[in-house]
Amino acid sequence: MPYVDPEIRRALEMAIQSLGADIQKFADVKVAKRGIIGFHDNESIMEAAGILNYTITSLVLYTLGSVEVPTYAKLALMDGVLSTAREELYRKVSAPYEDKKCAENGEVYSDEDVLSFLDIGPDGRSN
């Protein structure tokens, strides 16, 4: 989790909410132009994903542009920021969603399937 000072978070929150609303609005408009009715859920989120990707890329490039000379270390740091953000989204949002769906619908893999796939015996040793 990006542990940012609450004062900084409050200062950025309005801009973030506005940007998020704009991304959704532009996605909705793009889908509407194609004449799709009832588009808000599936089609719009697909368009929003591309716009969000562009926005994130632009923010990273803007941030890198604010440093005098991009270096490997600075580029690697930005790559790490993006990786960590993705991992945190998975940990906080995707994994609990997966757990909920497994509880509702049952596990896809049994313990035996996983052990067999990994070529590990019931005793935990490699076969």
3-state secondary structure 4-37: CCHHHHHHHHHHHHHHHHHHHHHHHHHHHHCCCC
Token couple for 44: 């719009």
Which residues 6+ apart lie within 8 Å of 75 measured at CB?
A: 64
Same domain, 58 and 113: no
Give the pLDDT confidence score for residue 117 in this predicted structure.
67
Q: Say how far residue 98 (Cα) sits from the centre of its chain.
A: 15
Same domain, 93 and 117: yes
Under 8 Å between Cβ of 79 and 73: no
Same domain, 24 and 60: yes
| Residue range 2-26, pLDDT digits in tens | 688 999 999 999 999 999 999 988 8
Give the Cα separation of 103 and 30 in Å (integer).
37
Q: Could you give the number of structural domains in the chain?
A: 2
Residue-range definition of the domain harbouring residue 85: 68-127
Same domain, 34 and 19: yes
Same domain, 116 and 76: yes
Same domain, 56 and 96: no
Same domain, 10 and 58: yes
Which of 66, 99, 117 lies at the terminal end of a domain, its last residue? Answer: 66
Same domain, 49 and 89: no
Same domain, 33 and 72: no
Same domain, 106 and 121: yes
Same domain, 84 and 61: no
Q: Which of 86, 78, 85 is nearest to 4 (CA)?
A: 85
Under 8 Å between Cβ of 111 and 124: no
| Residue range 27-44, pLDDT digits in tens | 888 777 776 555 456 778
Same domain, 95 and 43: no
Alpha carbons within 13 A on the beta-carbon side of 83: 6
| Residue range 56-97, pLDDT digits in tens | 999 998 888 877 788 899 889 999 999 999 999 999 999 999
Q: Which of 92, 16, 84, 93 is nearest to 52 (CA)?
A: 16
